[in-house]
Structure formats: C-alpha cells, structure tokens
Structure 1
C-alpha cells in the first residue's frame, strides 16, 4: 500500500464508517510522508502528544498559507481575522485568556458546573418531545438541538435564529474536510461566504450588546477590560464564530458516537442504567475509542523537527491523526476494545497542549447528562441501520443520522 493510496483512503468517504483498520496500517509507519508536497502524517500516541506541546509546530494561518495549505476563511476572504485556535503565542494566549474569563477558571471557576440543572432541563424537554414515536433520528431530534440550544443560550444568540445558524455552519464545517479526492474550490468558496454571513449576523448582536449588555458571554466579550485589555470588534466576531461552531459540532458527534457505541454494546448500556455514575468513565472511554475529532490537519513546522529518526523539514504541513494515537497499542492495552472500566484513559480526544479544546468541560458534562438520560428513559432502544450514514467530514467524524427503534419513553 503506497503512502498516497493510504492518505486517500483515510479521507475517502467510503471508509468513514470504519477508518480504524486504516489507522492501524498507518501506525506501521508512524511518520508517513506523501510525496509531491503532501503532509507528514503522525499516528503514534507519544509522538502526537509530544508535537501538540512542541513550539516548533505552528497553528498560525499565515504559516499554513506559506506551506501551501488551503486556508479556509482567511481575512482576505471574509474580512474576519483568524480565531485564536489559528494563531500562535503570544496572540493566541491573550485572546484565549480573554475568552476564558466568563467561561472557566480562574475567573469563573464554577461556570460549567452551575449549568448542570439547565442542561438537565433541556435534555428532559427534548426526550419528552419525542412523544409516542417508535422510531427516532437521534441526530436531528436530540444530539444536534441539545448542544446548539446550550451554546446559543451561553453566548446570547436568539434560539429562534437557529435555522439560519445551521445553514451557515454546515458549509463552514464542510470546508474543514481535507478529502484529497474532491474538488476543493467550491467547498472553500461556500465556507468563506457562510463565515462572512455568520460574521455579519453576529456583528448586529455585538452592536446591540455594546449598547445594552446582558448576562451572556457575548456581552462579556464586548465589555471585557481585564489585564489583557479588550478584544477588538473583529476579534470578538472571530471568537464568537469559533465558539458557536466548536461549541456544538464536536458535542453532536460525541453524543451520537456514544449512543451508537452503547447500542453496539448492550451490556454496557444496561450497566449505565443500573450504575449512573459509570457515565463519567464511559464518556472518557468514548473520547478515546470514538473521538469526535479524528485528526488535526492544520499544522505547520516552523523549524526542522526530528520524529523517530525522520526529519520533518521546516515549512512542512503536518497532520496529527488523533484517532490513530487513541488506539495505539504502545499506549493502551487492547486498544480496539471498548472498556468503560479502563483505567488511565489519557486520551487525545480533546487534543493537548495550548490548543486543547476550550470547551472540554462543557462537552463532557453535556455528554454525561445526555447519555445517562437516554439510557434511563428510552425503552428498549435498538439500531435500525448499522452502520448508519456518516457525515462527509473526515475531521469531525460522526453519523449524519442515527435512526433507532424504541418501545416508548419512560417518565
């Protein structure tokens, strides 16, 4: 199997339902380079973990462009600057600290935990809303609306605007797909236009909040004057776009992948009903076993880097294949087994280093509440189609639909 064919298979939609045999093949060459300017693929746990903490790896959009990578949504395309996840220190650190003030420690240490009753109420309402149906698409009727409602409330985006929001988010997320076998120009154009439209919509909300601040995160971003100074209006817009998208996309996949895995392991589903506290370990094992973010394709080396005797030259594109590292037998015993009793689950599901997932505490709590309540309240849930149809995206991997049969909904 040539390096080119392996890379194409990983990004090929035909393998989306089960990419793990390809990741196993990839780990035989832990640092694999596709010729003709292609990326270096890194697939072993310890190498990925090390590179995520390596300052010689850049996330800066300008370095990506210099390396020849397509950069979706750059300032020249949309008028918006890159969000902080597409920047390096010190600018990354400054913007992330400002964004974190209303969201987590040290300034808001109990923000996520304080949301638990509200999250439980939203989950209960969605499950109640299923009514007397005997078949349900878990994505459209639960896993998508739950985190979207949460992030809209958190930021202060009117819930009635959600249909417009989804019409913008879908092409933006599609633009992140690194499928090497597809024509990229049309997807990138649609993503740029959607990001511009979303930014313009948010600009109206930012203007409102600057005049009449409310008790929401968008108002706090607009009015923040901490030790790092205020964000500019453009920085607020880029941060808000990032939080709206990242605040629900990975959680949708985490919940859907989680329920799919539990239905494939009915003994674990029954244990969750009997032992609700098991959900904490279940979610961590899901983040290892079926991570919602499979790979990180947008990194650039800003110096020569040696990995296992292979030199990754300065200016090279690097893909960190998180899902391959999460099933690395050098790190995890029996890695292809879903084991909720597994100890030492230091997975890469939320990344690591300075770019580790900003909303990880909230995503964990959302998944814990969602899976616990689905297990408790759905009567005799079962898969209607396995494997289900998957989303196109190779980066944010999860079912597009997950149709399950049920005998009813318990109170």
Structure 2
C-alpha cells in the first residue's frame, strides 16, 4: 500500500470530486490492492476484481464482519430477512432462483421483452411532455419517470404511489457506500427509511395474497415449489432490493449516457445516422460511465493473496468496478468512448453469482430512452458541464441534467 493510493480512495469518496473520478481511479490502480486506514482493502484492477467476484472465499454477507448488517436490501428488523444480494450460496442461490422464476428464463422468458411496447409508450409520452419547451431537466423529466414506472409495474405497485417509492429509494441510496464519515448516522437514516418502505410493501404483499395479480409481488407470495416459497420477510426484502436496484441504477445509466453523447456532437450524428448503434453504445456506457462504481459489501472468509498482497480473513473489501473497467491492462485506450469497441468485456453489471439480476431490463430501458432522445431532440446543448452530481460514490450519476434544445421531432 502507498499513501497516494489511500488518499486517492478517500478523494473518490469525497462528493467534491464526483464529476470526474476517473483520474483518481487511475491513481488508485497504481496499487491494485490498497489497504485503507480503517482496515478495508480496495481492489482496483480488472483481472483481480474478476477473480474475487468468482472466489468462494469472498462473502457478501455483512454479518461475517460481526457488526450490524448494512445491506441495502435488509429488512432492518431483528427477525427480518436479508435480500439475496447480501447472502452467500446456497441461501443466495435459493432466493435468487425464486425471484428469477417470475422475471426471466427459463420460467418467465418473455417478461422483459414483453415490456418493450410499454417502455416505448411511456418514453414517447415523457418526450412529448417536453416538446413545448426549450429547456428540460432530462433526469427529472425523462430518466427518472420511466424506470420507476417500469419497476412499479413489474412489482404491482399502484401508479399513484410511484412518487413515494422514488423518495424512499433516493433516501436509501444516499446513505450507502464505504467510508467511516457519518457511518452510524447514515445507518440510522437507512434503517428508518427502510422500515417505512417495508411496512408499505408488507401491506401490499398481504393484499396480493388475498387477491393475486399478474405481477412479480403476486408471484413471490403465491408460488410454492420443490424449494418451498419465500417467507413474508423474504418477499419484502426481495421487493426492496428490486426497487432500488431496478430503477436507481437505470436512472444513472440514462443520465450518464445523454451527458456522454451531448459532449460529443459527432457521436450524436453517428447515432442519428445509425440507430442500431445504440445497442453497442449502451454497452460501452456500462464500461465508460458505469452507474455502479464501487461494490463495498465483500468480506474475506480466509487469508487471500491478491496481486502479491495478503488480505487477512475478516477484512472488508471494496471492489472498484469503475477502475477495473478502465484498466489499460485489460482494454486499449480505456478513457475514450468507442461505441464500436470489439469484445467489450466490462464490470458494469458486476460478475459471479451476484451478476446484476436486472441487467436485461436496464439494457433495454437505456436503449429505448437514449435512442428516442437522440432521435427526437433537435439541436440539444448542455446548460452546465459538469452538471450537479448526486453525492453517492457507489451509484454515480447527475442529480440534474439541464439541456437546451431547438425543438422536439414528432414521435
């Protein structure tokens, strides 16, 4: 470990550097495994991160630290359940299988693609809503409303409750992340908000038990198979996780994408001329401007040697995904956005058993929204560059993205 690497990570956590953390991530990579003053080990190079994501000696269960659970999907109750993102196999695998049964292959292969018409209709309505203006906040008016509408539709949340859902998720997200600053206060705030959210979801789940629908929450409460079903606590913890992971990250992916495109008029022209380019462009965004920058919930179960450094058993580990995806040892010219990049292997959705559950949904949402914004906005220009960012170092994205434009093309 070097002092430079340690100070680089501390500066990455500092909200004042949120607009461009990538030089700091480059500085961090000089020491692939950097021990921090609090005993946390930060891993920042691609090969080492991938190895740890697949290493069974790395736990995602914060209870292995011996302290309070800090999983964002935890119930916050003494007898509550932890979401599967905060569990290790086999408990993780069982709960993830039960959730995936109602979301994707092999049992529900058409769920995500079946949402395509609704996603396009919502996107069209949102862009129509800014057609009579010449300035819009693309975060508040486009990037946020679509993902929250989609995840609420999937879970079965009434449309009128969507604003409250977003407020709860936003409050929880702002309390997450590594670092000792205000940790106890952040944990208290997170648990207080989580309890409100859990009470709401618990009540909604009870309604679905009495009168099931065709939504995921109904599937969670009614399905019983060879592995049994979800307990009431597991239903709530899984729904909380899907709410946060299902829309907060996608908001950032869309906002980061439009910011990247607007900074390069030539790229905008290419995307307009070749609409199919949006698919690899979204993949490159996941590498270049990932919405999830850090994974801070890993614990070493044994002494592990990584890049010549021994991480002692019981140590907390942070995986700097954003640093790994721009590792020049893995990808050529990593600080250049290239929508035609060949073999684009990145860490935008993590990896291993915890590979992002909602990756197919996030990809499709981003492709639809970004394609429509590129196609329909005429002469878009950034009002401020850089825009204001949210303080979170874990889920990074603009809080607002003000754009001036000459008009909006018809749908």
TM-score band by shorter chain is: over 0.9
Matched, 1:254 2:256: no
1:286 aligned to 2:285?
Answer: yes
SS at match of 1:22: helix
Residue 32 of structure 2 corresponds to which residue in structure 1? 30
**Which residue in the other structure is 1:342 paired with?**
341
**Residue 114, structure 1, aligned to residue 102, structure 2:** no
Distance in 2 between the 1:214 and 1:358 partners?
A: 22
Task: Identify the residue that residue 132 of structure 2 maps to in structure 1.
Answer: 132
CA distance 1:123–1:324, change in 2 (3 Å): same
Match of 2:92 in 1: 92
2:169 is aligned with 1:156: no
Does structure 1 residue 315 correspond to structure 2 residue 314? yes
Q: How does 1:184-333 map to 2 (within 5 A)?
A: 184-333=183-332
1:292-325 CA distance string (max 9 Å, x none): 0001011000011111111111101100000000
Which of 9, 17, 20 is the aligned partner of 1:18? 20
Q: Is the 8 A contact 2:136 2:402 kept in 1?
A: yes
**What corresponds to 1:8 in structure 2?**
10
Trace 1:5-84 onto structure 2 (pairs within 5 A).
Answer: 5-35=7-37, 37-66=38-67, 77=77, 80-84=80-84
* Structure 1, unaligned runs of 5 or more: none
Give the number of equivalent residue pairs. Answer: 408
| Alpha-carbon distance between aligned partners in 2 of 1:69 and 1:327, rounded to the nearest angstrom | 31
Work out the CA distance in 2 between the residues paired with 1:69 and 1:321.
21
Cα distance change, pair 336–221 in 1 and its aligned pair in 2 (3 A): same
Say whether the 8 Å CA contact 1:72–1:192 is kept in structure 2. Answer: no
**Contact 2:33/2:309 (8 A) holds in 1:** yes
Report the Cα distance in structure 2 between the residues aligned to 1:347 and 1:392, rounded to whole angstroms: 24
Change in 2 beyond 3 A, CA 1:72/1:293: closer
Task: Give the CA deviation at 1:280.
Answer: 0.7
Contact 2:44 2:324 in 1 (8 A): yes
Give deviations 1:311-352, integer Å, cap 9, x for gaps: 111101100000000000010000000001100001100000
Structure 1 residues 291 and 78, CA, compared in 2 at 3 Å: closer, same or farther? farther
CA contact (8 A) 2:294 2:321 kept: yes
- 1:80 deviation in Å? 3.1
RMSD in angstroms over aligned alpha carbons?
1.5
- Counterpart in 1 of 2:351? 352
Structure 2 unmatched ranges of 5 or more: none
Per-residue deviation, residues 136-180 of structure 1 (Å, max 9, x unmatched):
001100101110000001110011012221222122111213344
Counterpart Cα distance in 2 of 1:326 and 1:189: 33
TM-score by length of 1: 0.96
SS in 1 for 2:7: helix
TM-score by length of 2: 0.96
Label 1:308 to 1:323 Cα distance change in 2 as closer, same or farther (>3 A).
same
Q: CA deviation at 1:5?
A: 2.0
Task: Write out per-residue CA displacement over residues 233-288 of structure 1, whole angstroms, 9 at most, x where no aligned residue.
Answer: 11000001111111101000000000000001111111111111001100000000
Query: 3-state DSSP class of the match of 2:346?
Result: coil
CA contact (8 A) 2:64 2:299 kept: yes
CA distance in 2, matches of 1:203, 1:90: 25
In the alignment, the residues of structure 1 paired with residue 96 and residue 70 of structure 2 have an alpha-carbon distance, to the nearest angstrom, of: 24
Q: Is the 8 A contact 2:62 2:70 kept in 1?
A: no
Relative to 1, partners in 2 of residues 1:349 and 1:72: Cα closer, same or farther, differing over 3 Å? closer
Aligned to 1:142: 142
